[in-house]
Chains A and B, each alone.
Chain A
């Protein structure tokens, strides 16, 4: 079949039948979309004769030109009728979903990627007159939603990436864009907020092991707390979206639909060992057919872009550069000013430098050619900048792990899947969904390429064609016995509604902290680290005698362990915890990310010893040869990779293998690992129990220093204005200069000083939303 199409045999019949099929069922048959794409690639002239009819029956009204045939004219009438009815040029899918959302209390739907769900959401956001809560699975998606929502609404609408009741004097309504975890804060304001709509995007998160439970719990609590708000669930590629409603008994005034209509065609290629490509189809029976051209090279030469899905460990080993070097070379150096600004911001943020020893970043070097690297250990701020870079169209190749797929709704002309081991089916479908961008180009049928390795063709085809279903029961209603011990507290608390929203721990965990006698331990830590309402500086910290420094670390560990059900940590957990504590203390001292990196870099690469050697060389007390030998002998200090704790199964893995010379220091690895420590270990594992213990301690002793320390752990500062600015959603890197221009700030609003002339345009842009 595939070779016949390439040869042009029977293609007019395929085109005729496709139109008939699409007219009747819509563009739901992926096999037909695949055939059409192939015809377009190999027989563009014949395809063009049918193109506008095909777009018409696909319901892509925004792509239609002036109708030339009866069929086009009929579909234009249909499109116009929809626009008349809804006031917007919706596709049939968007119109149907919008209609159900308007008329029902609960709606759950599924639609493939690139079918315009986000457009629909934007319209809803404009339409709803009450407060809106948008729930997404990742912080990166928060950022993406935020940037599009902020452009839609006026200053009277408060748009925040977490829940706070701020700017009250100027706020007409609120839009919160949050993860389910951040959602618990919402219930503090049941009587204050007037939530009219909950939008659960990527609601298939309900299937994830632990997060699924908190998601379901959050959903149920929204119904109890805000019963008259609409609840809308959106998913990609879910066969039974109705399960999202039935599992919570959202039956009355509810509706659900699984839209299978795709807007983009896709062709599939397998790559042989020798690099040659062949078409295959996961959608219908066919032999493979050789593809005579290098699709990826051609895509890049034509100015297109490619997503290369690759494992994080392969990126860490440099496998992306090794394996795809010839494609990287096809990417020209970026010249766009905006692109260069993003690269410069990143460079500054991670403190990379071409000239300084061991501070060269390979991902930044790649970025200069429009090649980006994106994975979960990339610092969030860097990730957001990279995503911006991709969205603005500067990226030609994007090496990414599943994090990008979850984090950004971005299409590419070509998606290359290097390996999909351990990947969930839904991730795989989502990934393929990124192949082929839906343009609004009039009269143009869009398609994209998916490339996989030859040996994966069978598994790929099987996985792509098997339906993805949600479980019809919530995990909240299931047996506890499958939950790992460390999470059983959380699950029980969620089920029994005994989660302490203020302390972000369960009631049982708080109870444990209260019952253990931690007073003297915490007092010792505060005595050493907090001076009045300030934290001590780095120099003072190193003046503390080593035995006391060790004690501080041990006591912090003890406080951390207390909230757990078990009484000890494994060796690997201990190692990770120990490594994190200096970073925690740097955070308390207000170090920026680049300063933290610099400190760790110095430590791991023996900066002091390197300096001594250099001094000796300069003084000629050693020869160049001796210097070289000594330098070669300097090995990177052993440090273990960050991992989330508690996790009884975690293994301690060295960041750099033993006896790696400092000359081979990989700055990118340091960046990724340091971020993982700050994020996975400190923010996500340590901050909540430590802060809770400090709160309990304060309640027992009224020792103000506990509050100070808590603020440092939570916000990295104890400055009241800076903390308010963080609550207003400003970036921690910006709060310092902004606070210099704040006359007054509280929950009602920000009053800036009268004279803001010292600020540049970009700075004014940053604060503009809160200026009146």
Chain B
């Protein structure tokens, strides 16, 4: 995974009262097949079938080949199938978490937990990280094979905030974050991450569009907003 661009903007550029930061990261994924493979492995590790010991791992790997090929093919050719979109969303979340860890020293919350949420529908935020100053970032990921998805990611974040999904998730998250981060979140000190796929070749323009999105406005009162664009290349 390559970092294509990284910019840091003061929120005050857009709202004088705001004190936080906006981080824009554009990433490129080139090892798609390996990522699908890893995901299928994680799916087995978290399933009730694994402890029964009836799944022969090399056999499962061999069996998964067709699924891997189908997904990578669909994604690379921008075919909008249900399967590629589901995986796409997972991939975007995973890439975003990894980038936040690598480039901003965030703590990833367990992937396993996340996988279970991800493959089984979407009752809340898609991924979570904790930044070094003990703030939880609530992440939403959107994937589309045909258009850039930043608009939908930001829209969903706004809706979840209204529905107080972040507050509802806190009891579960507490197990994985530092005490300070949990206290901060309770007191309203938190951040949001919007991760989205990019289909266009003009990556900078997309990142810019996200930054200037009218849906950003309501997020400017928080500690930080992370805009993470993910481009897949063969």
Contacts and interface: CB of A to CB of B under 8 A. Distances in A.
Interface of A: 12-13, 15-17, 19-20, 22-26, 50, 53, 57, 59, 67-71, 73-74, 77-78, 80-82, 84-86, 90, 92, 95-96, 99
A726 to B, nearest CB: 44
Contact of A16 (B48, B59, B90, B121): B121
Contacts of B171: none
A84 B63 CA distance: 9
Contact of A95 (B52, B71, B90): B52
A23 B116 contact: yes
B122 interface: yes
Contacts of B59: 81, 84-85
B86 A70 contact: yes
Given A78-B47, A81-B56, A70 B87 contact: yes
Contacts of A69: 82-83, 86
Interface stretch (B23-31, B38-46, B189-197): B38-46
Contacts of A92: 48-49, 52, 54
A17 B172 CA distance: 14
Given A16-B123, A74-B43, 4 more contacts: A26-B48, A73-B70, A78-B55, A96-B52
A12 B90 CA distance: 20
Contacts of B54: 82, 85-86, 90, 92, 95-96, 99
Contacts of B49: 26, 59, 78, 92
A619 to B, nearest CB: 83
A259 B34 CA distance: 35
B219 to A, nearest CB: 25
A146 B71 CA distance: 49
Given A24-B47, A77-B63, A81-B59, A71 B119 contact: yes
Contact of B56 (A19, A68, A73, A84): A84
Q: Which of A23, A68, A73, A85 has the most CB of B within 10 A?
A: A73
B174 to A, nearest CB: 19
B33 interface: no
A67 B70 CA distance: 12
Given A68-B82, A70-B83, A16 B120 contact: yes
Interface residues of B, number: 31
10 contacts: A15-B121, A23-B47, A57-B47, A67-B83, A71-B120, A74-B43, A77-B64, A85-B54, A92-B54, A96-B53
In terms of DSSP, what is the predominant structure of the interface of chain B? helix
Contact of A81 (B60, B116, B121): B60
Contacts of B71: 70
A80 B44 CA distance: 13
A25 B56 contact: no
A468 B54 CA distance: 27
Contacts of A15: 121
A96 B54 CA distance: 6
B10 interface: no
B67 interface: yes
B136 to A, nearest CB: 21
A85 B83 CA distance: 26
B63 A19 contact: no
B53 A99 contact: yes
A86 to B, nearest CB: 8
Contacts of B123: 13, 16-17
Nearest to B57: A81
B72 to A, nearest CB: 13
A580 B67 CA distance: 71
A715 B63 CA distance: 59
Contacts of A22: 48
A67 B119 CA distance: 14
A71 B83 CA distance: 8
A50 B120 CA distance: 10
Contacts of A84: 56, 59, 63
Nearest to A80: B63
Nearest to B52: A96
A60 to B, nearest CB: 12
Contacts of B117: 20
B146 to A, nearest CB: 18
Given A15-B121, A24-B116, A85-B54, A77 B83 contact: no
Nearest to B47: A23
Contact of B83 (A12, A68, A82): A68
Contacts of A99: 53-54
Nearest to A261: B48
A23 B120 contact: yes
The 6 lowest CB-CB distance pairs between A and B, nearest first, are: A16-B121, A26-B48, A70-B86, A19-B120, A95-B54, A20-B120
A59 B55 CA distance: 12
A23 B60 contact: no
A59 B51 CA distance: 14
Contacts of A53: 120
A81 B63 contact: yes
A735 to B, nearest CB: 48
B48 A74 contact: no
Contacts of B64: 74, 77
A77 B40 contact: yes
A77 B60 contact: yes
A109 to B, nearest CB: 12
A92 B40 CA distance: 18
A99 to B, nearest CB: 6
Contacts of B47: 23-24, 57, 74, 78
Contacts of A68: 82-83
B27 to A, nearest CB: 21
Contacts of B48: 22-26, 59, 92
Contacts of A70: 71, 82-83, 86-87, 90, 119
Nearest to B85: A70
A109 B155 CA distance: 51
Interface string B71-99: 10000000000110011001000000000
Contacts of A20: 116-117, 120-121
Most chain A CB within 10 A, of B49, B60, B83, B87, is at B49
Contacts of B40: 74, 77
A521 to B, nearest CB: 64
